[in-house]
Structure 1
Amino acid sequence: MGLRMTLQTQLVLKALMDNPARELYGRELSELTGLMPGTTHPILLRLETEGWVTSRKEDIDPHVEKRPARRYYRFTANGAAQASAALANARRPLSSALHGLTGKA
């Protein structure tokens, strides 16, 4: 597997796994994970490069909507299964990693 399972990647995958068929846009994933967009978007790009997620740009007129078009992400046909397996096999589960950050085991 070419994808590193960092804590941040695990957070993004877990947010997507909450409802694998649902499309989420980048800023929404940032809010769900508590990560900054500058962290979330490169992870999403790597997930897309690996074929785990697919994305589409929203088809709107930014002048009418008064906001930029959003890029929506969702798992590919095999992406959710790959993500589930990767999360299960991660070296340090999220709870252990979080305890490690506080100095408690």
Structure 2
Amino acid sequence: MLRRNNGFFLVEMLLSLTALGIAALFLIPSLVFLWEKGERISLEKNARQLMYSELIRTVSEGSGPFSHIEKIGVTNYTIYIKQSGNGSREVCVSYEHPATGTGTVCGFVE
């Protein structure tokens, strides 16, 4: 840059914008990945909270197998009790989110 000019040359501006664009090409996909991972962790946390509350209710009331659906935001959580052949019961929560997919969290009734 010449001393008598008060601004930038066109080449300097294009070079800085190119460097900014290249940095954005690497950072934007990683930020999207982190956002989706945080969303999946949040869904699993909600499913675990529902599972633990259902475990407490099942132990205190001694209820049999059933199934019901709860909706939190746009996510559907299906809560159900599975019984195995040896008499043990398991509370499971399956969740289905339109963007991040599905998953299941289970816990044994003691």
Per the normalisation by structure 2, the TM-score is: 0.24
Looking at both structures, which has the greater relative contact order when contacts are Cα pairs under 8 Å and sequence separation is at least 6? 1
* Structure with the higher helix share, 1 or 2: 1
The answer to which structure has the higher strand fraction is: 2
